[in-house]
Structure 1
């Protein structure tokens, strides 16, 4: 391939080198920060055979080229654009500067939680696997697998222990990731998380019963009584505490002499942050987190299908803006306190939205005629059904608009259906077909039926809306053909 020519054409389509602020690439995508995205010739990019799709997110304009191609094109691209090679973090920083405060806040949450999602998903899937072992009537009538085959009971018990690890020690994971994001030492953040789940503290899950019995232990410090209560499975306390830790550490680094910095700074940063966490930050944010989680649970439990329909209908637009990442904190909290909440209702709704994205792309495979777009539609439909929606959403559905509207309708209808039956997941995983392993056993067939409803509704609406678009285009064409030759569009 002529990589130099490809880079030259791409540079021309995005508005020239003067429009490029920063550039990097990942395994498949050219990731650009542009000064003015309105200068992009989207039609020109869509016509390029090398371009598999484009989308804009978090201040970056991304062009999908494919593995093996993108790195070679990137080398030529930065030469022509007259810019230096940059890391992903540098480009992320440049892109963040273009975001408004709300978008920056959502991106901050995303940057903190995305690195720990593999750990949460791995443990979540093990919870699902444990559900397969212990759920009665799933494979054997009247019995669970471990009842039918006692030899695997020990293995199931081991899997169950493994599955709890990420949630029991969740503050350690978040402390590491958040402190690093806030500019502090991530290992100090991990230590702070360890303090919050130390075995000497009353376990957060046992706290209500201990409080009711009047047996809460305290530290007595200068006349102040500080409750010795842990923060297992919490999210907000460690987020705020990590921010304070990073700022105290940065403050001390600037003022402590270098000969003492490695001794004094970590010591005072941990002591001061730990004291603030157990006296002020922890109790306040624990209450705030409970209010946020309980509010969503109240909305879901009280409004039922209506609340599910609203969340499902708007879930896809939230994904486009990136604001769906704000649900991660709530969803993690729901799963960490699963004995009380029964699981998360957000995951099944997200799965309905993902399946609807795949259904819309599948319908577009039969509607559109252009071969390149058909190929992208079929591949992205499969990907969306497996839980990865970006190719379908940005490559097909948003591009043609009406499939995206059909997606919102299909997601809303199917989410209302599963919400009516209170379908919940006991773990996080791939939100789509593979998500069956994460769903409560008694809700499994309702979940599967919900996916079928999402597919049928979305496919039907995509066809209906596509016919409407064709009718409008044909009417416009006929009107133009009927215009007398002596007149032009400007005159009309």
Structure 2
């Protein structure tokens, strides 16, 4: 398919004209727009344009799904037709943020911090899955692991595990880089801050509980003040708050220190002050908060697994629509850091699969060739962990597929939470997701996957047929009257 100028003209008109568009940019698949008034958008007309695969509002930006390869040409026509200049994603984000409330801004900030880390985290999850297959007992042999039967593979699995664990071992360094960048500070200082919090001289956070029990926690003595000498391996909150403080101190100093002295003053003072605050105040406080959050989730899913699975499984897709799902990536990472596993991420995988199955069923329901084509491609995308095309291009548009997917996801989530299915890492949130699940729990997880594949498909098909029958009955009634 090629992009025609007339198609982009239709898009501009459906958006309320060029006067309704404040700024525009694009990503790999979508036009990303900041609009003055979203109510002026004619979504029916917009989504009837041949090159448009869907549209949605997220984080204050109106996004038009066009597809890879086509969006670049569409953007060129878009700029020419609107008379706008090419702009950056940051400027569009800035324009869109003006309409966000404080909660939306907080959620968006977390998304801006964690989304750039996804390639490293997902890659680590996939590689850890391979290691789990090689080292997990009961997969190939009843009571032995593959590497026990074939010792030559042991070091191979060990090397994979080292590569996979790097992202999680040095997670504070990754978060420090991304968070300080988001808050407007020096990215290099963010990396140093994150690595400082996991320095080898500190007690490893994973051994903190045992050290407390044995009374062997090391301390710094600062003029009579005892400070626990512990690291924050795998922790999220300590480095997030510290990164914010570091950025603000750096910005404060940059405005007040003469250019000739900045190299000698700004970075050393900012890092030194933030370091002391991190170990004395920020670290202990946020470490306690993080553990409290973890304990709360663990309590709910341990004591009320049906309720936990039903709510999170049923409403995860709604969190995606609002953008709040990014906050739960931080919770997943906190759970992994505190307990070694996460019970939330497996539910995410089932939710994505459910959205794909609901979209796929529309291939049998709809008579529109464009919808049929989109249903297949968007379903494949959802099965591989990317649900935007399925959710915004098909399911939300027709509504009943979206609700069918939520029902299927909720049922599947209840099944796996009752069996306490857990993932050792965050991986690809779709069909390949089983690689991140603890191998001994694959059987139950596969049952959940089958539910997520079948139930949304059947419900969507059933509701679609009912809707068609109702429409036919209405038409016949009008003819008779």
Bin of the TM-score, shorter chain as denominator length: over 0.9
Q: Give the C-alpha shift of residue 124 in structure 1.
A: 1.9
- The answer on whether the counterparts of 2:202 and 2:229 sit within 8 Å (CA) in structure 1 is yes
State the match for 1:78 in structure 2: 79
Question: What CA deviation, in whole Å up to 9, does each residue of 1:395-444 have, x standing for no partner?
Answer: 11001001001011111111111111111111111111101111111110
1:198 aligns with 2:222: no
1:142 aligns with 2:140: no
Structure 2 Cα separation of the partners of residues 7 and 455 of structure 1? 36
Q: Give the C-alpha shift of residue 477 in structure 1.
A: 2.9
Segments of structure 1 that go 5 or more residues without pairing to the other structure are 484-492
3-state SS, counterpart of residue 91 of structure 1: helix
Question: What CA deviation, in whole Å up to 9, does each residue of 1:382-404 have, x standing for no partner?
Answer: 11112111111111100100100
1:415 aligns with 2:416: no
3-state SS, counterpart of residue 297 of structure 1: helix
1:60 aligns with 2:58: no
Match of 2:433 among 432, 435, 441: 435
Structure 2 Cα separation of the partners of residues 13 and 6 of structure 1? 11
- The answer on whether the counterparts of 1:236 and 1:289 sit within 8 Å (CA) in structure 2 is yes
State the match for 2:375 in structure 1: 377
Structure 1 residues 280 and 342, CA gap change in structure 2 (3 angstroms): closer
- The answer on whether the counterparts of 2:138 and 2:440 sit within 8 Å (CA) in structure 1 is no
- The answer on whether the counterparts of 1:342 and 1:424 sit within 8 Å (CA) in structure 2 is no
Structure 1 Cα separation of the partners of residues 202 and 177 of structure 2? 21
3-state SS, counterpart of residue 66 of structure 1: coil
State the match for 1:362 in structure 2: 360
Q: Give the C-alpha shift of residue 222 in structure 1.
A: 2.1
Structure 1 Cα separation of the partners of residues 305 and 72 of structure 2? 49
3-state SS, counterpart of residue 294 of structure 2: helix
State the match for 2:445 in structure 1: 447
State the match for 2:313 in structure 1: 312
Structure 1 Cα separation of the partners of residues 187 and 71 of structure 2? 32
Structure 2 Cα separation of the partners of residues 279 and 475 of structure 1? 71
Q: Give the C-alpha shift of residue 479 in structure 1.
A: 4.5
3-state SS, counterpart of residue 206 of structure 2: coil
- The answer on whether the counterparts of 1:305 and 1:418 sit within 8 Å (CA) in structure 2 is no
TM-score (norm 1): 0.94
Q: Give the C-alpha shift of residue 55 in structure 1.
A: 2.0
Structure 1 residues 2 and 353, CA gap change in structure 2 (3 angstroms): closer
Q: Give the C-alpha shift of residue 208 in structure 1.
A: 1.8
State the match for 1:405 in structure 2: 403
- The answer on whether the counterparts of 1:168 and 1:336 sit within 8 Å (CA) in structure 2 is no
Structure 2 Cα separation of the partners of residues 36 and 72 of structure 1? 25
State the match for 1:209 in structure 2: 210
- The answer on whether the counterparts of 2:126 and 2:428 sit within 8 Å (CA) in structure 1 is no
- Off by >6 Å, runs of 4+ in structure 1: none
Q: Give the C-alpha shift of residue 293 in structure 1.
A: 1.3
Moved more, 458-467 or 100-109: 458-467
3-state SS, counterpart of residue 227 of structure 2: strand
State the match for 2:279 in structure 1: 278
Q: Give the C-alpha shift of residue 2 in structure 1.
A: 6.5
3-state SS, counterpart of residue 47 of structure 1: coil
The alignment yields a C-alpha RMSD, in angstroms, of 1.5
State the match for 2:264 in structure 1: 263
State the match for 1:487 in structure 2: none
State the match for 2:348 in structure 1: 350
Structure 1 Cα separation of the partners of residues 427 and 377 of structure 2? 21
Q: Give the C-alpha shift of residue 456 in structure 1.
A: 1.9
Q: Give the C-alpha shift of residue 482 in structure 1.
A: 4.9
Structure 1 Cα separation of the partners of residues 147 and 199 of structure 2? 33
Q: Give the C-alpha shift of residue 240 in structure 1.
A: 0.3
Q: Give the C-alpha shift of residue 457 in structure 1.
A: 1.5
Moved more, 151-160 or 265-274: 151-160
3-state SS, counterpart of residue 137 of structure 2: coil
Q: Give the C-alpha shift of residue 236 in structure 1.
A: 0.2
Matched ranges for 1:112-261 at <5 A: 112-261=113-262
Question: What CA deviation, in whole Å up to 9, does each residue of 1:2-48 have, x standing for no partner?
Answer: 64322222111111111111101122221111111221122212222
3-state SS, counterpart of residue 30 of structure 1: strand
Moved more, 96-105 or 185-194: 96-105
Q: Give the C-alpha shift of residue 286 in structure 1.
A: 0.5
Q: Give the C-alpha shift of residue 122 in structure 1.
A: 1.8
Structure 2 Cα separation of the partners of residues 461 and 69 of structure 1? 34
Moved more, 252-261 or 64-73: 64-73
Q: Give the C-alpha shift of residue 66 in structure 1.
A: 2.6
Structure 2 Cα separation of the partners of residues 463 and 2 of structure 1? 33
- The answer on whether the counterparts of 2:364 and 2:461 sit within 8 Å (CA) in structure 1 is no
Moved more, 164-173 or 263-272: 164-173
